[in-house]
Amino acid sequence: MLNRPDLAVFKEDFPKVKHTTANEVSVLINYIINILNIQKPTDDETISVMDQQMLIVGDLIRTKFGHLTIPEIKEALKMYVAREFPEIKVFRILDAISIGEILNTYTSFRNTALQNYSNKKQILLNAPTQPSDEQKKQIREEFLKTVFDEIKSTGFSGGSWSIYDELVESGKINVSDSDKKKLYKAELKRYEVEEKDLIMKKGYYSTKTLLADLKQKIENKRPLGVVQNRCKSVIVSSYLTDFVDDFEIFKKAIE
């Protein structure tokens, strides 16, 4: 949960002005007139001029500030009247220029004020959703069934390396260091052959470079993760081969 400041509530919980009705905009214009304490004219000519100006202001709000909400525009006018925008001199006038200046200043102020909140919100939105315990159980079940089917069918599961550590920790598999080294050497050779065949079959224009890179990786003393995982899969698959007659027995051999 993230506590939202009022500016965020005004921005996120209400429809944008461009999605509101003409009547709602008219009510907003009357609010602006009242908060600025603008005296309504009484003679027909002045009324006509003011009505024309209100139409222009309404059109400006809908077309150029349609991304704002009505509560945001009201807040902008409150801040303007309260002189919270020191860069704007307060006049009791209502025209397109003054409204444009107020709303532009408010938008800039809001964006700056909400920057920290927006950053935290984005982090939360981008964070991966954690599965429930029931979902984790189902994912585990489906994974083990896949491993079971692969080992039963071919005697090997390439993804079984992911349960290697838990089988080691539970003492269900125990491989000596010398056997690990022998297996790694054999699987490294297999990896080298497979990768060379792949590079040659693909016919890359940079075949020589790719082969040279592969040779450097093979000769490097640092173990290759992909080969290590292959070794783990070989060990796990070998252990689980004796339990593929029944899935429930297979699971017990792991858990």
**pLDDT (tens digit, 9 = 90+) per residue, 120-146?**
777 777 777 677 888 888 888 898 999
**Residues 157/162/163/166 CA torsion (nearest 10 deg):** 160
Nearest one of 59, 73, 76, 62 to 20, comparing CA atoms = 62
SS3 4: coil
pLDDT averaged over every residue in the chain? 86
Per-residue pLDDT, 106: 94
State pTM to two decimals. Answer: 0.50
- CB atoms inside a 10 Å sphere around CB 69: 21
Give the integer Cα–Cα distance in Å for 121 and 50: 43
Per-residue pLDDT, 212: 81
14 band by pLDDT with thresholds 50, 70 and 90: very high
Average pLDDT in the 11-26 region?
90
Give the integer Cα–Cα distance in Å for 9 and 113: 13
**181-208: per-residue pLDDT in tens?**
999 999 889 888 888 887 777 665 567 7
Average pLDDT in the 207-214 region?
77
117 burial via Cβ count (<10 Å: 0-12, 13-18, 19+): middle
Q: Indicate the DSSP class of residue 128.
A: P
Per-residue pLDDT, 117: 82
Q: What residue type is assigned to position 148 of the chain?
A: F
**74-124: per-residue pLDDT in tens?**
999 999 988 898 888 777 667 788 899 999 999 999 998 888 888 877 777
